[in-house]
Structure 1
Amino acid sequence: MTLAVSSSLAEYQNELRLDLLIDMDDDAFFEFCQRNPELRFERNPDGTIIIMPLTGGKTGIRNSELSFEVVLWNRARRLGQVFDSSTGFRFPNGAMRSPDIAWISNQKWDLLTAREQEKFPPVSPEFIVELMSANDKLKQAQAKMTEYIENGVLLAWLINPKDQEAYVYRSNGSTHHITDFDQYLSGEDILPDFKFDLRLLK
């Protein structure tokens, strides 16, 4: 397969974009990802493939803290399934995204066939988290959050440890900006009774 590297790297800073000279359907893209397990890919609605960078040590620790708390909450209630950042989801607009953390209710997950569950699930998670690394661009991260909501995500958190701020996005179009980490983020009615202490990410 021949790949062409996009020249617009400055715009995406820490992402490498690949413009394929041939089109790949969802099955072909899945196989492409399986053949490159050391890399993490996303795909834009126009088919452009993005190679996502590896995280640094501090980001990895923070991701683990977040994942642990969501998994612990879910294990106690058994309301759905929790997914890590290596899981790709096919959204209604054609994009393939891999949030840092995603949660899907059992009711929604069970509607998928076994084959759909095995590959890139064609479903929008009800809840997602994106944790920014030090070099991530805020405007680019916010655009992704808007895309999530427009494609059916009900609750989304964008967390920026560098500036100790967080943004909450909801399906009704409302957003909330948290300006310090001495607070809790709430799972609201999507993850009932779930609260995350932002101080764990300092």
Structure 2
Amino acid sequence: MNALTLNLDTVNLTDDQFYELCRRNQNFRFERTQTGELIVMPPVGGESGRREADFITDLGIWNRHTNLGIVFSSSTVFKLPNGANRSPDAAWIQRQRWDALTPIQRRKFPAIAPDFVIELRSATDDLQDLQDKMQEYLDNGVQLGWLINPQDQRVEIYRFRRPVEVLNLPSDLSGEDTLPEFVLKLNLFSD
């Protein structure tokens, strides 16, 4: 099942209305584009869900040791500076940036772009849509992003103000300066 995009250009949901829509329909995952289109995200299958959980676990363990920031799951919606509401499969924000938000800003959909995101392509995801989403993250201030694509056995690395780097069958990924000493081991291409 592919994501369903609804054109709501005449509805113009406010941020509070979008939040209420999500809260009242918790069995669905929604995103909203910069232009106000509502995207209904399909659930992922077992393999994608397992891999996503592994990535979040590894990121969380690293973060507990370093205490440098906050880790978020795919259930978290971020309001990006361009107005879009997006949910990466995993995200991380530097602690001082997170702490600068008020408790109310943290409680709803935080109006902040993560410093780091992971998108894991599931069997039903359109690659171009994910590549566009990754570029949108960079355009809104994300410093580092990984688009992990098991179907094509490659990873696209997105860095702020740098060209996309494509790696074929990498065994691991480095968090570079954004996530110091974080290394994500990739065994998904051998499963």
CA drift at 1:164: 1.4
CA contact (8 A) 1:131 1:160 kept: yes
User: CA-atom RMSD, angstroms?
Assistant: 1.2
CA drift at 1:163: 1.9
Is 1:17 equivalent to 2:14 in the alignment? no
Q: Between Structure 1 and Structure 2, how many residues are aligned?
A: 189
Partner residue, 2:159:
170
> What is the CA–CA distance in structure 1 between the aligned matches of 2:95 and 2:124, rounded to whole Å?
35
Partner residue, 2:169:
180
Please, which runs of 5 or more residues in structure 1 have no aligned partner? 1-12
Partner residue, 2:127:
138
Deviation track 1:95-123 (CA, whole Å, cap 9, x = no partner) reads: 00000000001110011111000000000
**Which of 65, 70, 81 is residue 81 of structure 1 equivalent to?**
70
CA drift at 1:137: 1.7
Partner residue, 1:191:
179
TM-score by length of 2: 0.95
Output the amino acid matched with 2:177.
D
Output the amino acid matched with 2:131.
Q
Higher mean C-alpha deviation, range 91-100 or range 13-22? 13-22
> What is the CA–CA distance in structure 2 between the aligned matches of 1:200 and 1:180, rounded to whole Å?
9
Structure 1 residue matching 2:142: 3-state secondary structure:
coil
> What is the CA–CA distance in structure 1 between the aligned matches of 2:151 and 2:46, rounded to whole Å?
14
Deviation track 1:155-193 (CA, whole Å, cap 9, x = no partner) reads: 000000122110000002222111114x21010000000
**Which of 80, 83, 86 is residue 91 of structure 1 equivalent to?**
80
> What is the CA–CA distance in structure 1 between the aligned matches of 2:168 and 2:187, rounded to whole Å?
12
**Which of 50, 62, 66 is residue 51 of structure 2 equivalent to?**
62
Structure 1 residue matching 2:20: 3-state secondary structure:
helix
Deviation track 1:107-160 (CA, whole Å, cap 9, x = no partner) reads: 100111110000000000000000000121211211111111011000000000
Output the amino acid matched with 1:196.
L
Q: Which runs of 4+ in 1 moved over 6 A?
A: none
**Which of 116, 139, 148 is residue 137 of structure 2 equivalent to?**
148
> What is the CA–CA distance in structure 2 between the aligned matches of 1:50 and 1:140, rounded to whole Å?
12
CA contact (8 A) 1:83 1:103 kept: yes
CA contact (8 A) 1:65 1:200 kept: no
Structure 2 residue matching 1:163: 3-state secondary structure:
coil
Partner residue, 1:110:
99
Identity %: 47
Is 1:49 equivalent to 2:38 in the alignment? yes
